[in-house]
Chains A and B, each alone.
Chain A
Amino acid sequence: MKSLLPRAPTTAPALIAVAAGALLLLWAGGNAYNLSLLGLLATYSLVGLGMYAPLAWAGSMSLAFSAYAAIGAYSVAVISTKADAPVWVGWIVGAALAVVVALILGAATMRLTGFHLVAITLLFATAFQTWLVSANWLGSSNGIGQIAALSLGWWHPSARALVIGGLALVVLIAIGLDRLRRSSWGVIARALGQAPLAVECCGTRVPRITIVMQCFGAAIAAIGGSFFATDVQGITPVTFTTDLVFLVLFFLILGGTSSPWGALIGAAIAVELTVRATFFASGGGLLLLALAVLVVLLIAPSGILGLLGDARRRLAAPAGRRARLRGDVTR
């Protein structure tokens, strides 16, 4: 319970994230492939941040986030190609639609938790995927291509500028979630996962607050989908299969759920394993992530963030205490 109490906000993680982003952009340079990897990193991070709040705070494992991301992506595609409206309108419409869908699904599954919630949200994600494949007006299995490039009035951002914007958005949302986590609302939200009855007794309606978190997460995931469609300028249903939601779940656990920054660490690992590491091609990266999650759960449940936190505490501890800590580890 002590972990629920708000601690003084720290800017260190945000500064580290900004520095890491700057280094990655330097590494990418003007190379189109490297920029596409950073675009994917921003997409994974956004979907991960969307799933983070309900999962890490309320312990609500909804696996419908592939559908929410798809809603964001298809909104951009439809608005751009069928309505000839600016791409940014698709971002807003996508986030709003995802919130509505999350609200309906949340209301229908309000009293469900655990395995039942997992099953029903997976069935929803599967049914949504089937609908995407069968909807002719959404291009069926071919999806929608030739999405217009993003333009904001007089400004037409280049591919590099778009990726920089995407990464900046990721950092901003992570900072926002971190602040929210420390706020009084965040304390209540996090208490849901640990003591829902106590929260209910305090007069807060647990199902309602869970639905709010689901809607909030759905909007962020939809923004991730919108960013992807804008970056790639095309979309197909296979981008948003249930594999995506499992990938996001695994990298969230791997990165650590004690703060939103774990989602960014996990997303970077996911991109490295599933795209860049050719040794793990053909699903091997996903296999490695699944195995890593099992190992993390069994050995270091707080993920990479937890390991980093432990290392920091050890380094910061005085010599005598450090020796005791080492002794603890040996034992």
Chain B
Amino acid sequence: MTDPQVWISILEQGCFYGLIGLAYLLGLEGTGFFNFAVGSYALVAALMTSWLVSEHGYGVWPALILAVLVAMALAALTELAVVRTIEAKFQHGELPSLVAVAALLFAISQVAGMVFGRVTMPGEPFYSFTPIAVGSAYLTPAVVGVVGVAVVAFAGVSITARTTAFGRALRAVGDNKEASRILGLPVGRVRLIAFAVSGLVAALAGIAYSSQAGVSWDVGLQWALLGFLALVVGGAGSWFGPLVGGILLGFVQEIIELYAGGQDVDYAMLGIALVFFAFWPKGLTSRAVRA
């Protein structure tokens, strides 16, 4: 625990889970819908960037921009083609939504596996540099990438939600969709943008995180589950809730890996989920007043 490198790993893991949690929260705020497919947006973006760079000789930035645009398009398409139709068709009950997002997550992951290959691919850092020494620890491009994306994304979303017309509209739609519609707010457009931004956040998180350990076509579900857990643990009451939850999950994961073993992480995550769902279902942060 005294090794600073462990704390850097905690920060990296925590920021990644937090970012996936933030992607959930954006969709949740707009539609009240936990979009499990965010894991597959992150996966597609990471795989596509790596595939374009290593198999087709693209530069990192053009590949990254293309991959992010594809992930955003997938997210927007989810809102247009799936969420809206399911909402219109089924007025009550969560089951159709649950099945739809599970099918979507699976379909996107399988297509990604077919197109980009079912092998682990090396990730691509946003910017390559020699690891920076900080005391006895090192900051790698992956760590800087994930933490940098987290700082920009959380600060950006938080400021946008508080100070811009779109942010206020998003919160209004999240509070009461029907009232917002009656008052003339462009509910459909607000939700579509929220989903696209959710895709953007997930894509950047996936690309940045995969530059450390690579990415395989079948990790979408795992990322989706851990991001969901980060949101539940941190709470949906604050935009920074998923980051708090993510850091806690990262801390537990690193400690378990350090003192027990890799396989015990899965048991610990299940334990955390059981404890939080039972005793703190609203998570660590809560919003008493939507101001």
User: Knowing A123-B225, A290-B110, A301-B89 touch, does A114 contact B94 (C-beta < 8 A)?
Assistant: yes
Beyond A109-B277, A134-B263, A297-B103, 13 extra complex contacts between A and B, CB < 8 Å: A55-B95, A61-B95, A115-B98, A120-B270, A123-B269, A127-B267, A193-B93, A194-B92, A283-B110, A284-B114, A291-B107, A297-B86, A301-B96
Alpha-carbon separation in the docked complex, A108 to B98 (Å): 21
Closest to B24 in A: A115
* Contact between chains at B96 and A297 (CB < 8 Å): yes
Q: Is A88 an interface residue (CB 8 A)?
A: no
Q: A282–B86 contact, CB under 8 A?
A: no
Pairs A–B under 8 Å by Cβ, sample size 23: A59-B93, A59-B94, A109-B277, A115-B36, A116-B281, A123-B266, A123-B269, A123-B270, A126-B222, A126-B225, A126-B266, A126-B270, A127-B269, A193-B93, A250-B103, A282-B118, A286-B110, A290-B106, A290-B107, A291-B107, A293-B100, A298-B82, A298-B85
Q: Report yes or no: B89 in contact with A298, Cβ–Cβ below 8 A.
A: yes
Q: Any chain B CB within 8 A of the CB of A158?
A: no
Among A111, A119, A291, the most chain B Cβ lie within 10 Å of the Cβ of A119
> Top 6 nearest A-B pairs by Cβ distance?
A287-B110, A290-B107, A114-B94, A115-B34, A290-B106, A130-B266
Q: How many residues of A contact B (CB 8 A)?
A: 42
A184 contacts chain B at the CB level, 8 A cutoff: no
Q: Which residues of B contact A286 (CB under 8 A)?
A: 106, 110
Q: Report the separation of the CA atoms of residues A118 and B92 in the bound assembly, to the nearest whole angstrom.
A: 18
The answer for the CA separation of A284 and B118 in the assembled complex, in Å, is 12
A113 within 8 A of B: yes
Contacts of A112 in B (CB 8 A): 277
C-alpha gap A118/B221 in the complex (Å): 12
Tell me the total A-B contact number using a CB cutoff of 8 A: 117
Chain B interfacial positions (CB closer than 8 Å to A): 34, 36, 81-82, 85-86, 89-90, 92-96, 98-100, 102-104, 106-107, 110-111, 113-114, 118, 221-222, 225, 228-229, 232, 263, 266-267, 269-270, 273-274, 277-278, 281
| Binary per-residue interface labels of chain A (85-103) against chain B in the complex, 1 for a CB within 8 Å, 0 otherwise | 0000000000000000000
Q: Which of B93, B99, B269, B281 contacts A293 (CB 8 A)?
A: B99
Bound: A293/B114 CA distance, A: 19
Within 8 A of B (CB), among A233-291: 242, 246, 249-250, 253, 282-284, 286-287, 290-291
Question: Inside 8 A of B277's CB, which chain A residues have their CB?
Answer: 109, 112, 116, 120
B114:A282 contact, CB within 8 angstroms = yes
With both chains docked as a complex, state the minimum distance between the C-beta of B262 and any C-beta of chain A, in angstroms.
9
User: Interface residues, chain A, CB within 8 Å of chain B?
Assistant: 55, 59, 61, 108-109, 111-116, 118-120, 122-124, 126-127, 130-131, 133-134, 193-194, 242, 246, 249-250, 253, 282-284, 286-287, 290-291, 293-294, 297-298, 301
**Are A115's CB and B228's CB within 8 A?**
yes
Q: Is there an interface contact between A120 and B114, defined as CB atoms closer than 8 Å?
A: no
> How far, in Å, is A1 (CB) from chain B's closest CB?
12
Q: Could you tell me if A253 and B98 are in contact, using CB atoms closer than 8 angstroms? A: no
Whether A293 contacts B263 in the complex (CB less than 8 A), given A120-B273, A126-B225, comes out as no
Contacts of A194 in B (CB 8 A): 92-93
Of B110, B229, B266, the residue contacting A119 (CB under 8 A) is: B229
Which of B34, B110, B267 is A284 in contact with, Cβ under 8 Å? B110
* A123 contacts B93, C-beta separation under 8 Å: no
> Contact: B232 with A116, CB < 8 Å?
yes
Which residues in A have their C-beta under 8 angstroms from that of B228?
115, 119
Query: Chain B residues with Cβ under 8 A from A55's Cβ?
Result: 95
